Structure 1
Amino acid sequence: MKIDEIGEFGLIGRIAAAFRPLIPTGWEGIGDDCAVIPWSDDRSVVVTTDLLIENVHFLRDRISAYDLGYKVLAVNLSDIAAMGATPAATFLSLGLPADGVGVEWCDRFFEGYRSFGVPLLGGDTTASPQGIVVNVTVLGIAENDRIKRRNGAEAGDLIVVTGPLGDSAAGLQALLADLPTTPEIAALIEAHHRPRPHLAEGEWLGREADVHALMDVSDGVASDLGHILRASGVGAEIDTASLPVSDRLRKTATEQGWKPLKLALTGGEDYVLLGTVAPARFEELQARFTARFGRPLAVIGRCVAGPAEIRYDGKPLDFSGFKHF
C-alpha cells in the first residue's frame, strides 16, 4: 500500500496507534495542535514541531532569508496559540545546501527567526544534498484549566475565526503567477510570507470557559474544521456569506478571475484561530474580545448534532484543504 492511498492522516493514525500504549498516564500525544506534558499540579508544557522543505512549503527564489526565518517560527507559534499557551523556548534543525546559501543568508534567516523574541535553546545543522530543510520545535507553558483542545465542541456552538481567510493562499497564487506588484498584491504576498500567529488572541481565548474547542488554520477551514468535528463527534453548518474575506483579496480576485470562497475555505496558511463558542454568553464575550483586539470574532457557522460532516449553506459541497500526500 502506498502512502498516498491512505493520506497524511491515515499515516498519522497508524503511527499514533502503534505508540499510544507507550504514552505515560496524564500525557497527551498525537491528535491536537500540541502534545501536552504535565509539569506541575496546575501547569503543563505543550510541545509542537513542524517540518518545512524547499519547493514544498516555500520557494527560495521568492522568499527572503529574513521572511523564511520569520515564517518557520510563526507557523509553530500558531500551534502554541491554538492551545491557549505562551511560548517559552524553541529548537531548530537546519539542513543547508552548498549552493547559494552563505553566511549572510544565515544571518538574515536568524534575524527573522529572532523577531518574535522567543529563545532558541539548541538544535542541529547539517548539509542537505538538495534544497533547504527546516524543522522547528517549540515549547510552551499553559495553565491546565486554560488548555484548549479540538475535542470540546458541542452541538449548538458558534464556529468562529479570529481573522480574515484566504489572503495567504492568494499571495501564493500571485507569486506563482508572477503578477505585477500592486499594493493589494504586495499585502497578500506579505500575508503569505509573514503570517501573524495569534498568540495574544489564543491566550485570551484560553481563559474563557465558553470557548470549547480551538485550533489554528494551517490547511484551510474546510480541512481544519473537520479535525474539530471528528474529535468532538459533531457536524457543522457553514454560512459562506459570513466568511471574513479582506477587501484586498476581493479586489484582486475580481481582477484575476479567482474564486475568493475557495481560497478562503481551502487555501490554508492563514494561521488565524478557529474555534467553537457556547452561544448563551457569546454577545458578552464578543464585546470583550472586540474591546481588547479592536475587531470582532467572525462567526462563520454553527456546530450541529450528527455525523462529523460540513454543510455549506445547507448543502454538502466538495471542499478540501491542502493535502500532503
Structure 2
Amino acid sequence: MTEFGFIDSIVRRFAALPANGFEGIGDDCAILPLGDGTALLFTADLLTEGVHFLREATSARELGRKALAVNLSDVAAMGGRPVATLLSLALPEGVSEAWAQEFMEGYHELSERYGVALIGGDTTRSSAGITINVTALGRADEAHVKRRSDARPGDVIFVAGELGASGAGLRDILAGHYGTPLAAQHRNPAPQVEEGQWLGARREVHAMMDLSDGLASDIRHILDRSEVGAQVELTRIPVAEGADLQTAACGGEDYKLLLTADGTRAEALAAAYRERFGGPLYPVGRITTAHELVWLRNGTPETLDWHGFEHFKKR
C-alpha cells in the first residue's frame, strides 16, 4: 500500500456523500466558502514519535513549536491567514508535567507570534510513544486562495527559499549529532505565513503549496492536479549550506513555499517579493504541456529516479 494509493481509495469511497459546501481532499487545506467573498481553510497534521521526531533529540519546546509550524505552513500555502487551532495529545507513561508544560510553552510562543487562538482539542494516554495532532483553521478572501490545480503551461516555477537544510539536519540527528546547526534547523521549521498571504494576494501567482515531502515529490502534486508537466533545472535549485543537491530536491520538511506564476510577470513578481521580504524567489523551472516531470542539467534532460519522503514506504 502506498500513501497516495490509500488516499485515492478514500476519495473514491466518500465521493457519493454530500460535500456540504466544502472543497475537500487534494490541497494543503480543505476550503469552505462563507458566501461573503471569504473562505475558511482547514488542515490537520500528525507528528508521531519515532517517525517525525526522536524525543531524545528534540526538546519539548521545539516540538511544541514544530507541531504548530507545520500546520501554519499549510494555511500559508493556500494564501490564508491562520486564526485558530485544535490540539490533541497522546502521552505515554513517564512523560512529566514539566515536559508537557514546556511543550505548551513552545506551542504558545508560535501561537502568540501569529495571533492564533487555541480553541480546543483532546488529551489521552498512549501505550507507546507521543502522538500529536493539530487541526488549524485559516481565513482568506476567496479570490486569494491558491490551489495546486491552477498551474498553467508557461508558468515559471519558484521556490521561496533554500532547500535541503532540514533533510541534512535529519541526517545529522539519525547519526547521533544532535547539536549541529542543521539539526537545529530540522527541529525548528519556520512557516512562511506572511509570505503566503502576500503571494495569495498576487494575481500572477497561480498554483501554490508548501514543501513538506521534498521538491521531487511535491511538484508532482501540482502537475497531477493541474494536468500539466514541468521542466526543472537542477543547477537552479537553491541548495542550503551544508546540504547537497539530491537532499535539496528530495529531503523534505523544508516548509518553503512552492509556486507557479505567469511567465510574463515572473520577473516583476520576484523583484516585488525581494523588496517586500528581503530575499529571493528562486526560479527553478517551467510548467509545460508534456504531462511529465523532466529534470534538466544546464538545459539537457537527465534521467533521475528522484522522489521525496514516502510515508508508507518501508525503511
Instruction: Give me the TM-score of the superposition, normalised by structure 2.
Output: 0.94
- Cα distance between partner residues in 2 of 1:78 and 1:308: 27
Paired residue for 2:108, among 95, 114, 119? 114
Report the equivalent of 2:216. Answer: 222
Report the equivalent of 2:283. Answer: 299
CA RMSD of aligned residues (A): 1.2
Paired residue for 2:225, among 231, 240, 248? 231
> Are the equivalent residues in 2 in contact too, given 1:233–1:308 (CA < 8 A)?
no
Residues 224-278 of structure 1: CA distance to partner in whole angstroms, max 9, x if unpaired? 000000001111111111111123x15xxxxxxxxx1110011000000001011
Ranges in structure 1 where 5+ consecutive residues have no aligned partner: 251-259
> Are the equivalent residues in 1 in contact too, given 2:234–2:295 (CA < 8 A)?
no
- Cα distance between partner residues in 2 of 1:316 and 1:305: 19
Could you tell me which amino acid in structure 2 is paired with residue 162 of structure 1?
A
- Cα distance between partner residues in 2 of 1:270 and 1:190: 12
Q: After superposition, where does 1:123-202 map in structure 2 within 5 Å?
A: 123-179=121-177, 181=179, 185-186=180-181, 188-202=182-196
- Cα distance between partner residues in 2 of 1:311 and 1:267: 17
> Are the equivalent residues in 1 in contact too, given 2:57–2:178 (CA < 8 A)?
no
- Cα distance between partner residues in 2 of 1:89 and 1:40: 20
Residues 196-235 of structure 1: CA distance to partner in whole angstroms, max 9, x if unpaired? 0001110000001110100000000000000000001111
Please state how far the C-alpha of 1:54 moved relative to its aligned partner.
0.3
Relative distance call for 1:25 and 1:131 in structure 2 (3 A) is: closer
Could you tell me which amino acid in structure 2 is paired with residue 60 of structure 1?
R
> Are the equivalent residues in 1 in contact too, given 2:64–2:103 (CA < 8 A)?
yes
Structure 1 runs (4+) greater than 4 angstroms displaced: none
In the alignment, does 2:46 pair up with 1:48? no
Q: After superposition, where does 1:98-113 map in structure 2 within 5 Å?
A: 98-99=93-94, 101-113=95-107
Paired residue for 2:295, among 306, 311, 315? 311
Report the equivalent of 1:279. Answer: 263
Paired residue for 2:237, among 238, 243, 247? 243
Please state how far the C-alpha of 1:132 moved relative to its aligned partner.
0.2
In the alignment, does 2:34 pair up with 1:36? no
> Are the equivalent residues in 1 in contact too, given 2:85–2:118 (CA < 8 A)?
yes
- Cα distance between partner residues in 1 of 2:292 and 2:224: 5
User: 1:21 is paired with a residue of what secondary structure?
Assistant: coil
Relative distance call for 1:97 and 1:190 in structure 2 (3 A) is: same
- Cα distance between partner residues in 1 of 2:44 and 2:204: 28
Ranges in structure 2 where 5+ consecutive residues have no aligned partner: none
Farther-moved stretch of structure 1 (170-179 vs 81-90): 170-179
Relative distance call for 1:73 and 1:180 in structure 2 (3 A) is: closer
In the alignment, does 2:13 pair up with 1:15? no
Please state how far the C-alpha of 1:25 moved relative to its aligned partner.
5.7
- Cα distance between partner residues in 2 of 1:23 and 1:241: 46
Report the equivalent of 2:197. Answer: 203
> Are the equivalent residues in 2 in contact too, given 1:33–1:215 (CA < 8 A)?
yes
Please state how far the C-alpha of 1:306 moved relative to its aligned partner.
1.2
Please state how far the C-alpha of 1:180 moved relative to its aligned partner.
7.9
Could you tell me which amino acid in structure 2 is paired with residue 97 of structure 1?
P
Report the equivalent of 1:256. Answer: none
Report the equivalent of 1:58. Answer: 53
> Are the equivalent residues in 1 in contact too, given 2:217–2:307 (CA < 8 A)?
yes
Report the equivalent of 2:311. Answer: 324
- Cα distance between partner residues in 2 of 1:192 and 1:12: 27
In the alignment, does 2:75 pair up with 1:88? no
> Are the equivalent residues in 1 in contact too, given 2:61–2:107 (CA < 8 A)?
yes
Please state how far the C-alpha of 1:179 moved relative to its aligned partner.
3.4
> Are the equivalent residues in 1 in contact too, given 2:240–2:248 (CA < 8 A)?
no
Q: After superposition, where does 1:69-84 map in structure 2 within 5 Å?
A: 69-84=64-79
Farther-moved stretch of structure 1 (14-23 vs 49-58): 14-23
Give the paired residue count: 305
- Cα distance between partner residues in 2 of 1:151 and 1:30: 12
User: 1:87 is paired with a residue of what secondary structure?
Assistant: strand
Could you tell me which amino acid in structure 1 is paired with residue 56 of structure 2?
D
> Are the equivalent residues in 2 in contact too, given 1:233–1:306 (CA < 8 A)?
no
